[in-house]
C-alpha cells in the first residue's frame, strides 16, 4: 500500500521553521523511540544546518530497551546529545534541560563573562504525534501547549517560557512532501504519525501483522491466543482475531475494520510488548 500525506499546513510550518531557526541556540529533535529512523524528516536537515541537536527518544516505555540504548549511541556525537524519555512522566524532562545546558555551556560561559542575560532558546521539532507538545508541557510544568493522541494537533508555532532562563518554540508535527521508502511510510502510520483517516486501516493492519510475525512473533501470537502456521497469511490471522473477539457486522459477516483498528491500537498502547520497528544499524 502506497501512503502519502502532506497537508497544506505542513508547508507553512516548514517555512516558519526556516525563518525562526536563526533565533534559536539549539534544536530539540523529538523522535518516537519505536521508530527513530523513520521519524527523521530529511527536510529538517537543511533547516537545522549546524545548530546543536538534542535527540529526544520519546515513548521509551513502549520501545525495546536494548534498541533504545543503541539508538542513543547512534545519535550522540560532538554536536549532539540523546536523551531517553517518557514525556508523560512528571519531571522527566529535567534530563532535556541538563542536556541543553551541557551543549550550550560555552555560550553560557561567554554570556556570563560579558554580563549578558539573554535567554537560551530552542526549537522543538518532530513528526506528528511524537510527543513534542507533551514534552513542552513537562518542561514548563503547565499545560501551555495543546496536546492530543493523534497527529496534527499543533497547527502553529508558539514560544513557551520554561523554568529558568530558557524558552522553547513548539512547532507543528511535520512530514515531508513524498515518501521514497514504503517501509518508513508504513512505520509512521503504525505509530500514528500519519492519520488513520488517510489510509486503508484494514490493509495497513495486514502489513503490520506481517511485520509483527517477522520481528516479534511470540508477543503477537500470545496476545491473540493464536498458533503459528507458516501457511497462514496475515489476513488469516486477522480473521482469527475477529472470530475470537466476536467482531461481527450486521448479517453475521466479520468486521475486519474493527479487528484492524484493535490490532493497531494494541500496538500503539503497548499491549503487544516493548517493540522497536527500526533496528539500529551496527
- Domain membership flag for residue 115: yes
The domain that contains 35 carries what CATH number?
3.40.50.300
Residue 126 in 3-state DSSP? Answer: coil
**Distance of alpha carbon 117 from alpha carbon 128, whole angstroms:** 34
Is there a single domain that holds both residue 264 and residue 139? Answer: no
- Domain membership flag for residue 1: no
Is there a single domain that holds both residue 27 and residue 158? Answer: yes
How far, CA to CA in Å, does 49 sit from each of 55, 62, 100?
15, 31, 17
Could you tell me if 155 and 8 are in contact, meaning their C-beta atoms sit under 8 angstroms apart? no
Residue 158 in 3-state DSSP? Answer: strand
- Domain membership flag for residue 85: yes
- Domain membership flag for residue 64: yes
Show the domain range for 130.
8-170
pLDDT digits (tens, 9 = 90+) for 167-209: 889 899 999 998 999 999 999 999 999 999 999 999 999 999 9
CA contacts within 13 A on the Cβ side of 27: 24
Ranges under pLDDT 50 in the chain: 143, 145-155
Is there a single domain that holds both residue 161 and residue 220? Answer: no
- Domain membership flag for residue 2: no
The domain that contains 258 carries what CATH number?
1.10.1580.10
Is there a single domain that holds both residue 29 and residue 148? Answer: yes
- For residue 58, the cross-strand partners are 32
- pLDDT of 147 reads 43
Contacts of 269 (CB under 8 A, 6+ apart): none
- Domain membership flag for residue 30: yes
pLDDT digits (tens, 9 = 90+) for 139-174: 877 645 444 444 444 445 678 887 667 888 989 999
- pLDDT of 105 reads 85
Helices H / strands E in the chain, number of each: 11, 6
Look at the chain and report how many structural domains it folds into: 2
Is there a single domain that holds both residue 164 and residue 96? Answer: yes
DSSP state letter for 122: E
If you search the block for the grid coordinates 510544568, which residue do you land on?
141
- pLDDT of 151 reads 43
Residue ending a domain, among 129, 155, 170, is 170
Is there a single domain that holds both residue 135 and residue 205? Answer: no
Q: Which grid coordinates belong to 183?
A: 517501509
Is there a single domain that holds both residue 140 and residue 223? Answer: no
Is there a single domain that holds both residue 98 and residue 42? Answer: yes
Is there a single domain that holds both residue 98 and residue 31? Answer: yes
Is there a single domain that holds both residue 166 and residue 224? Answer: no
- Domain membership flag for residue 45: yes
Could you tell me if 182 and 2 are in contact, meaning their C-beta atoms sit under 8 angstroms apart? yes
Is there a single domain that holds both residue 145 and residue 207? Answer: no
Is there a single domain that holds both residue 127 and residue 206? Answer: no
Residue ending a domain, among 150, 170, 190, is 170
- Domain membership flag for residue 187: no
Its pTM stands at: 0.90
Amino acid at each position: 500500500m502506497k501512503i502519502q500525506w502532506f497537508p497544506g499546513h505542513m508547508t507553512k510550518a516548514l517555512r516558519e521553521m526556516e525563518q525562526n531557526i536563526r533565533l534559536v541556540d539549539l534544536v530539540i529533535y523529538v523522535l518516537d523511540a519505536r521508530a527513530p529512523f523513520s521519524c527523521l524528516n530529511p527536510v529538517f536537515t537543511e533547516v537545522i544546518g549546524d545548530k546543536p541537536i538534542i535527540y529526544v527518544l520519546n515513548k521509551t516505555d513502549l520501545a525495546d530497551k536494548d534498541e533504545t540504548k543503541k539508538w542513543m549511541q547512534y545519535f550522540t556525537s560532538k554536536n549532539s546529545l540523546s536523551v531517553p524519555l517518557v514525556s508523560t512522566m512528571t519531571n522527566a524532562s529535567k534530563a532535556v534541560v541538563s542536556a541543553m545546558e551541557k551543549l550550550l555551556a560555552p555560550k553560557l560561559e561567554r554570556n556570563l563573562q560579558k554580563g549578558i542575560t539573554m535567554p537560551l532558546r530552542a526549537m522543538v521539532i518532530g513528526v506528528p504525534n511524537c510527543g513534542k507538545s507533551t514534552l513542552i508541557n513537562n518542561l514548563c510544568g503547565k499545560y501551555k501547549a495543546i496536546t492530543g493522541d493523534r497527529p496534527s494537533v499543533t497547527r502553529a508555532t508558539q514560544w513557551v517560557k520554561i523554568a529558568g532562563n530558557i524558552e522553547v518554540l513548539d512547532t507543528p508535527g511535520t512530514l515531508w512532501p513524498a515518501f521514497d521508502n514504503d517501509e518508513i511510510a508504513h512505520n509512521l502510520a503504525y505509530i500514528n504519525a500519519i492519520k488513520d483517516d488517510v489510509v486503508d486501516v484494514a490493509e495497513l493492519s495486514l502489513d503490520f501483522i506481517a511485520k509483527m510475525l517477522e520481528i516479534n512473533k511470540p508477543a503477537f501470537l500470545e496476545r491473540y491466543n493464536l498458533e503459528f502456521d507458516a501457511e497462514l497469511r496475515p489476513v488469516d490471522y486477522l480473521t482469527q482475531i475477529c472470530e475470537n473477539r466476536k467482531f461481527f457486522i450486521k448479517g453475521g459477516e466479520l468486521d475486519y475494520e474493527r479487528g484492524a483498528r484493535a490490532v493497531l491500537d494494541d500496538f500503539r498502547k503497548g499491549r503487544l510488548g516493548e517493540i522497536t520497528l527500526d533496528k539500529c544499524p551496527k
